[in-house]
Structure 1
Amino acid sequence: MIRSIVFLSLLGLSTGCAHHQNAPTAPTPLPETGWNAQYDQRYSPSGWPEPLYADVYTPTTAGPHPAVLVAHGGGWTRRSRGDMSDIAETLASVGFVVMNIDYRFAPAHRFPAQLHDLQVAMHWLHDRRQALSIDRERIGALGFSSGGHLVSLLGVVAGDDGALDQPWGGPETRLAAVVSGGTPSDLRKFGDGKLVEQLLGGTIDEVPDAYHQASPVVHVDSDDPPFFLFHGTWDMLVPIDQATDFHATLQAHGVHSELYRMRGRGHIASFLTSGSAIEAGARFLRRTLSPSNQ
């Protein structure tokens, strides 16, 4: 817990370099609690194309607790849940059950394999809600970069009964809140990007339907959960219009959305110095996942 609090406090020094649109007038208080961790928990079903694992963090206070599914970045092709360990510990230290997952990589596994991985992770959480003392109505998600894309997509397609909600979706995959940073929300704008081509299996001219289906902004409707988006204003890898357009689309559909602009930071820097955004995101999750909001 000490490591998590130091991480949050030190990186939170950059608060003055951010602008929080649609922020609440008064900050939501964050509790402080101890936590326990279970590492390398297999969450993928038997017979899944490859075994997938998660680290699960549980507060030491009495539940039931809200929970957060956490997904790492890496262009859908690399990295691991270890990148999100500090963030997962921070969330656990303020009262969330946290499931920090790995997922399958492109190009060996094309979209929507990664979304299916998040969907089965949600089923895993629901199946163990009593053992982990989870309130099943208060499950959110947090991700950065490609992980932000995946949690955002999960948030806007769950329960829609469309193609992406089958066969691994269903009501158990519905999120109550989403925190997403550096998010590629409209993959149609990356038609010549190598990482997106590896994920979707071709250029936008070759597989236009895949680009459409894989873009969270396309699936927004009025039933979607509240969103907290954070993004670096100097992000050249995922330009900030990916956040501003997504934010505007959510609002246009009557979905609560907050946009936290991290001034003067690019894609990597906005992750490495994300302490103030994670703190604001944690307050957003406490507020939106409180029992009074159900």
Structure 2
Amino acid sequence: MKQFTVITLLILCFISETTHAKAYTVENTYKKLIKQYPNITIPVQDNAADVSIKKGLIYKTINQQALTLTLFSPKQQQASLPLVVLVHGGGWRTGTPALFNALAIRLAQNGFVVATPSYRLSGVAPFPAAIYDVNDALIWLRAHHQDFAIDLNHIALGGGSAGGQIAALLAYNNGQLKQQAEQATSANVQALINIDGLSDFASDEALPFENDPSKKVTSASAWLGGRYEQVPERWHSASPINYITDESPATLFINSSVPRFRAGRDTAIMALKKHQVVNQIYQFADAPHSFWLFDPWLNDTVKIMTEFLTAQLKLQN
């Protein structure tokens, strides 16, 4: 009985190391940031009378877990519109699609169909499960494009923080990453928006944080199934920077003023330029990580995204 208790305590300690003290939500993040940024506000979401919101659309069921997405679109939609898929953040182990509700509503008001999928977090399934899930969400959306008036020729992937890394990895892979059933990914997208997501887990900028020796388990090591020195190949294979080619989609980086969350970005820009891929950077001068969840940054983020998406999707031949 005593041995069982000790083992149980060890398991509980491991679980506590691999989960956030608080869930990654807009409200919790607001409480964390309000002292340093007293002028921030949580965006109002009750002004969406002109947006159709479809919640709980099941795109996949795996191990008895239903994975869903929420779809946002203009109510007066007359024709097929470009699709933007936004992947939420949360260190690969927390967070929900609701984090993107405010941004998705505003993009829909600007003439886009927006999908925010859930995916399996690291406590349920480690890398690359989340990549497969978002890929399957794309497959489902393509299969139902007529139901939701989606223009199949104009699709963008985007995400914030961990979601930015997931979106970038899937967008840049474009068929290189295989599923267990040897099915190629469907992420042939025309644009990528990486909002404060890592481009290179193994970079000198990333390792001191993502492989922090003072922590038993980091968000990255929990998701990747081990520390860098234990499974270096997995850290490299999860880094979007290793998949940039001539076929990579036009890419927009939107960043906070926190260097940690743009690890690998500048090297990625060099690779994109080498392959003559359209690329842009917008970096806020004084903004925290998770800036896109709050006003005043949300307005500028939506404006920057809309201009980029309009150029890369709606006006593309």
Say if 1:57 and 1:99, in contact at 8 Å, map to a contact too: yes
Say if 1:72 and 1:80, in contact at 8 Å, map to a contact too: yes
Alpha-carbon distance, 1:287 to partner: 1.2
| Structure 1 counterpart of 2:84 | 68
SS in 1 for 2:72: strand
Q: Supply the distance in 1 between the matched residues of 2:120 and 2:279 (Cα, whole angstroms).
A: 29
SS in 2 for 1:82: helix
**Higher RCO by CA contacts (8 Å cutoff, separation 6 or greater):** 1
Please identify the structure whose Cα radius of gyration is greater.
2
Q: Supply the distance in 2 between the matched residues of 1:49 and 1:158 (Cα, whole angstroms).
A: 28
Q: Supply the distance in 2 between the matched residues of 1:57 and 1:274 (Cα, whole angstroms).
A: 17
Alpha-carbon distance, 1:279 to partner: 1.3
Instruction: Give deviations 1:103-134, integer Å, cap 9, x for gaps.
Output: 11013311000000110000011110111111
Query: Superposition pairs for residues 1-80 of structure 1, below 5 Å?
Result: 34-44=50-60, 46-48=61-63, 50-59=65-74, 60-80=76-96
Unaligned runs of 5+ in 1: 1-32
Q: State the Cα RMSD in Å.
A: 2.1
Alpha-carbon distance, 1:188 to partner: 1.0
Alpha-carbon distance, 1:158 to partner: 1.4
Letter in 2 for 1:293: Q
Instruction: Give deviations 1:155-189, integer Å, cap 9, x for gaps.
Output: 100133x446964544x321111111101110113
Distance 1:275 1:246, change over 3 A: farther
Give the percent of matched residue pairs that are identical in Structure 1 and Structure 2.
23
Instruction: Give deviations 1:209-260, integer Å, cap 9, x for gaps.
Output: 1011100001100101101101112x1542x343222222212221111000
Q: Supply the distance in 2 between the matched residues of 1:151 and 1:182 (Cα, whole angstroms).
A: 12
| Structure 2 counterpart of 1:26 | none
User: TM-score, structure 1 length as denominator?
Assistant: 0.81
Distance 1:244 1:89, change over 3 A: same
Pick from 254, 264, 268 the counterpart of residue 286 of structure 2: 264
Mean alpha-carbon deviation: is it higher for 55-64 or for 194-203?
Answer: 55-64
Residues 1:278 and 2:292 are matched in the alignment? no
Alpha-carbon distance, 1:152 to partner: 0.7
Q: Supply the distance in 2 between the matched residues of 1:49 and 1:237 (Cα, whole angstroms).
A: 36
Unaligned runs of 5+ in 2: 1-48, 213-217
Q: Supply the distance in 2 between the matched residues of 1:250 and 1:113 (Cα, whole angstroms).
A: 26
Q: Supply the distance in 2 between the matched residues of 1:80 and 1:222 (Cα, whole angstroms).
A: 33
| Structure 1 counterpart of 2:168 | 152
Q: Supply the distance in 2 between the matched residues of 1:142 and 1:47 (Cα, whole angstroms).
A: 24
Residues 1:177 and 2:191 are matched in the alignment? yes
Q: Supply the distance in 2 between the matched residues of 1:268 and 1:275 (Cα, whole angstroms).
A: 14
Query: Superposition pairs for residues 169-208 of structure 1, below 5 Å?
Result: 169-170=184-185, 172-189=186-203, 190-191=206-207, 192-193=211-212, 194-208=218-232
Alpha-carbon distance, 1:50 to partner: 2.1
| Structure 1 counterpart of 2:277 | 255
Pick from 102, 116, 133 the counterpart of residue 100 of structure 1: 116
Query: Superposition pairs for residues 222-233 of structure 1, below 5 Å?
Result: 222-233=246-257
Say if 2:54 and 2:70, in contact at 8 Å, map to a contact too: yes
Residues 1:209 and 2:233 are matched in the alignment? yes
Q: Supply the distance in 1 between the matched residues of 2:52 and 2:191 (Cα, whole angstroms).
A: 24
Alpha-carbon distance, 1:141 to partner: 1.5
Letter in 2 for 1:244: D
Would you say how many aligned residue pairs link Structure 1 and Structure 2?
Answer: 257
| Structure 2 counterpart of 1:114 | 130
Distance 1:80 1:100, change over 3 A: same
Letter in 1 for 2:201: L
User: TM-score, structure 2 length as denominator?
Assistant: 0.76
Q: Supply the distance in 1 between the matched residues of 2:310 and 2:71 (Cα, whole angstroms).
A: 19
Q: Supply the distance in 1 between the matched residues of 2:119 and 2:162 (Cα, whole angstroms).
A: 11
Letter in 1 for 2:316: N
Say if 1:142 and 1:151, in contact at 8 Å, map to a contact too: yes
Q: Supply the distance in 1 between the matched residues of 2:188 and 2:181 (Cα, whole angstroms).
A: 13
